[in-house]
Chain A
């Protein structure tokens, strides 16, 4: 599909670009939680593949998988509030050739049932898809117990894991379908709160391939999940200040797209990572590990600090806890300054 987007943007809907330019992305864009897009995608998957089953733990109404249960009652299994049993049962199903999509919240998928996720799913590399809503601090008002602010870090630490966190509803569907084709466990991380619909139908989703959404040479923002939208807003603000900043949607945290990130490091010389996730062990850590060994350059990590957050509206929390476009802008200016001063010293 040929895009007629104005440069430097790629793969965004024309409306997204207009709203970025008019600074109205979070007030006027069509918004949907990515959990809802997951529910729609898995329903479509159920139509195509009779081996797809959906497992729930009493949050099917919240996530929307109750629609799958209504359409395919014999292939929907509600395990009640018992995530550990659900996760290991999914492993058992996968040994027989079924393709289970296990649906729960990130805190339960990545922590309550982590032992099952590690030992019964990842160690034997069984074909289980773990669909986690309420990732990061995207369930703003629910507060800390329901905010999965560590799920990316925890899941990344497990051997053989594949970890995907799509940025908008459109790419969520692509991610769910791609996961179905991927042999082995996949962890899919979704938002509870609505995020803007960003992407057009030409978005080239491929597991493990980061996507450049905005060209730029002064610095790059590598973002994941809901912070991709913040990164785009930040880049637009930086453009107004004379900085030409690249934006990368790193939807697959693991396997990390090493080639793209090293190329970005070489071409821009300054990187800011942005994740709605604890700073320890997530996207920032993954990129820092890569750059430290292969291409050290000025870098900043935007993520939740050494704290739990609190209840509040999603966008207010993002602002208060240092994850918003405003914070990304400051971080980019800082790495660009460090890059310039390093060059002057040479």
Chain B
């Protein structure tokens, strides 16, 4: 890692993930809008990337040789903003401005407004293709950076995801890793009821990807799979991270309604209390 901060231990990552979960709740509560469920389900993955795995420099967000991260499920951007702020890309005071007028933190990620955002996202199905372009450029110019893309499980219903899957396989983009946040819920209902996506692993294998399945909340497994993917050569890697939507806040967990709803003040207090209590037990 290029920055002064040493890669975190598993223990430290778990604590940081709890901090980021608290940031997410506070941001969305203050904004009174946003997407808590999918932000919380991706929190461990994003924490592992930003505090252990990725080659980045918070003081030089445009460093040409940095690893790239794309949150293709852009609505979960509170998790990205929290990680960037905690990592030092910008001051934490900005987090309270989420979705407000003149804020650097838009409702969906805007690379021109927020330091550290490598790609503007929000319209589902774009991010993996963008990652393909970044990875192709890395290969062409013999750069050593890796490209990391988090997609939603509902997002795999977008046809363009599979166009990108084909392309990454054609060009053997082993510098590209996709992580699907398999939290099993989407905006309207359960993924399986809206439009089933299984057998998901078999589909990615059939498209020529290396596929691993992990518990997306087990920090050891998250870190191990990401680091293995960086080392792996010859094909792109898909990490199917089995997660719980709303993870860490029991009343939000596995509840469809918390896809895109802000908690009220009392609910937020209760959520923060639970996350902090669990963090003490780490």
Contacts and interface: CB of A to CB of B under 8 A. Distances in A.
Interface string A145-181: 0000000000000000000000000000000000000
Interface stretch (A71-79, A132-140, A305-313, A319-327): A71-79
A178 B138 CA distance: 27
A92 B133 contact: yes
Contact of B119 (A53, A97, A124): A124
Nearest to B123: A119
Interface stretch (A4-12, A20-28, A80-88): A80-88
Contacts of B136: 77, 89, 92-93
A88 B130 contact: yes
Interface in B140-161: 140-141, 143, 159-160
Interface in A228-253: none
B139 to A, nearest CB: 9
A116 B129 contact: yes
B42 interface: no
Given A85-B164, A124-B110, A98 B140 contact: yes
Given A96-B134, A124-B112, A125-B112, A85 B160 contact: yes
A255 to B, nearest CB: 20
B213 interface: no
A89 B129 contact: yes
A75 B140 CA distance: 8
B12 to A, nearest CB: 31
B68 to A, nearest CB: 8
A10 to B, nearest CB: 41
Contact of A90 (B110, B133, B159): B133
B57 to A, nearest CB: 16
Nearest to B145: A96
A91 interface: yes
Contact of B137 (A88, A96, A120, A123): A96
Nearest to B108: A119
Nearest to A125: B112
Given A84-B129, A95-B119, A89 B138 contact: no
B130 A92 contact: yes
Contacts of B126: 88, 91, 115-116, 119-120
A116 B131 CA distance: 13
Contact of A84 (B118, B140, B163, B166): B163
Given A93-B137, A96-B137, A119-B120, A82 B166 contact: yes
B122 interface: yes
B137 A92 contact: yes
A89 B118 CA distance: 14
B133 A89 contact: yes
B199 interface: no
Contact of B118 (A80, A88, A95, A116): A95
B56 to A, nearest CB: 15
A74 B139 CA distance: 10
Contact of B133 (A80, A88, A115, A123): A88
B123 A115 contact: yes
A143 to B, nearest CB: 25
Contact of A119 (B122, B133, B137, B140): B122
Given A96-B137, A124-B120, 20 more contacts: A82-B160, A82-B166, A82-B167, A85-B160, A88-B132, A91-B119, A91-B126, A92-B134, A93-B133, A94-B133, A95-B111, A95-B118, A95-B133, A96-B143, A97-B64, A98-B137, A119-B122, A120-B119, A120-B126, A120-B129
Interface of B: 64, 68, 110-112, 118-120, 122-123, 125-127, 129-138, 140-141, 143, 159-160, 163-164, 166-167, 171
